[in-house]
Amino acid sequence: MFKGTLIRSGNNAKTIKGDGEYETAIMYLAPFTMAGSNVCPMAEQAGCVKGCLNTAGRGAYNNVQQARIAKTKRYLASRTAFMADLVTDLERFVAYCKRKGVKPAVRLNGTSDIQWEVAHYASRGDARGSVFELFPEVQFYDYTKVYKRAYRQLPANYALTLSYSAANPAYAEVVTKAAHETGANLAIVYRTKELRDYFVGKLVQYGNACRDVIDGDETDMRFLDPKGVIVGLYAKGKAKGDRSGFVVG
């Protein structure tokens, strides 16, 4: 287990399943406007505020929520200082993984949807750039509802999976269109594990996206998924009671 100031590994039941060749560290911030400013710009349009996975697992504890709020306020108060702390954490995590004999993987948006590839610069030694450029040895990956990100030329070591929601028909249309046009994978949260399992291995169509469904809970290593698939997940935490359309079924 790695414990950094901003990122940690070994405390997410799903990422642990993929530990072996890789180890994943995740940064959990306070989603939407919990810390005073919106770090999930498509949350209202996608209707995922109430069903946010922020409350799943350890997120159910108040002390965990308060820690996430504190980290997010640090990010909002000084992006420069925050990015410097992130570089320190990433350097320590890379060294930790080297000692352990595994490859480092990092999710920066555990419970946020920040566009890290845009205007988030940092320094590592004499080099300056995005964390993706500064840490080519790290495999970064995230889920996102900011569908326009799929159209960008993303860094080679950053994999994005689009996130579906039928809470807003207009959002459902544009996110499935983005998946269709860019080939990006599309994550869908099903009501129950049984419903998810029913669709796994079948060809299913959502809007413009007609694809095979894979089990997205078997591992969290989204960068290892086959291309052009639907990543089937099942609802956890408060998402189990979501009736907005964010959770399917």
Taking the mean position of all CA atoms in its chain, how far away is CA 90?
17
d(CA 146, CA 144): 5
d(CA 190, CA 54): 17
Asked if residue 32 is part of any domain, the answer here is yes
Tell me which DSSP letter residue 76 carries.
H
**How many structural domains are present in the chain?**
1
220: its two tokens = 């969290």
Asked if residue 2 is part of any domain, the answer here is no
Asked if residue 22 is part of any domain, the answer here is yes
pTM score, whole prediction: 0.91
Asked if residue 105 is part of any domain, the answer here is yes
215 φψ region: left (φ > 0), alpha (ψ -120 to 50), beta (else): beta
Task: Give me the count of residues in the chain.
Answer: 249
Q: Looking at residue 59, what is its pLDDT? A: 47
Q: What is the pLDDT of residues 194-218, one digit of tens each?
A: 999 999 999 999 998 889 999 999 9
Asked if residue 1 is part of any domain, the answer here is no
Domain of residue 103, residue span: 8-248
Q: What is the pLDDT of residues 40-62, one digit of tens each?
A: 998 888 776 665 665 555 545 56
Asked if residue 221 is part of any domain, the answer here is yes
